[in-house]
Amino acid sequence: MKEQTDEKALLEGLAASDKRTVETIYKENYNMVQALIINNNGSADDAKDIFQEAMIVLYEKARSGSFELNCQIKTFVYSVSRRLWLKRLQQQNRFSAPGDNMQEVVSVEEDLEQHERRNDEFEMMDTAISHLGEPCKSLIEAYYLKKQTMQEIAAKFGYTNADNAKNQKYKCLMRLKKIFFTHYKNENGDD
């Protein structure tokens, strides 16, 4: 059962965005996916795109803690990449069923539905933040993404003290939340 514990350790490392782990998973799976894409009408750039999206699916699944190890990482990455590539081929009308005599495939429909939803949410936040403009954008990123303290931010952005920076951040946050939730509620308004 050594293999299983290894895989488990990899997933834990991935969930914590440990660089070495990500590199290992990348190294062990990239060539396989690239071969799949290239053998099915794709280019090396397509392969990179598709593989990295599959890595994000795996990452978010690992992070959500819902990853039950019912298949190998390799099988999962392969299945997701295959599905993503099929979808892209269909969109481009170049559809031809990928030949896969080389790998077993597992069903990943549910994972991809979740991935779509997370994609939408990511896009919503991305547009909301980019609509903020400066200095709000940098201010919000410094506090919420880079987790800098108000003192650090005050020094970096040239506010006289942490309280001033806090005031400014509050105004920015209110605007961001307003933009974000307008879209968020529109998207989820149906249910």
Residues forming contacts to another protein in the complex (CB under 8 A) are 17, 19, 22-23, 26-27, 30-31, 34, 38-39, 41, 43-44, 48, 52, 55-56, 59-60, 63, 118, 121-122, 125-126, 129, 144-145, 166-167, 170, 173, 177, 180-181, 184
Comparison of 35 and 106: residue with beta carbon closer to another protein: 35
Task: Sort residue 116 into left (φ over 0), alpha (ψ -120 to 50) or beta.
Answer: alpha
Minimal distance, residue 1 CB to another protein, in Å:
28
Which amino acid is residue 84, in one-letter code?
L
Minimal distance, residue 15 CB to another protein, in Å:
10
d(CA 91, CA 93) in angstroms, rounded, equals 5
Counted residue by residue, the chain has a size of 191
The H-assigned helical ranges of 64-108 are: 73-91
Comparison of 107 and 177: residue with beta carbon closer to another protein: 177
Minimal distance, residue 17 CB to another protein, in Å:
6
Comparison of 63 and 131: residue with beta carbon closer to another protein: 63
d(CA 139, CA 137) in angstroms, rounded, equals 5
Comparison of 95 and 181: residue with beta carbon closer to another protein: 181
Which amino acid is residue 4, in one-letter code?
Q
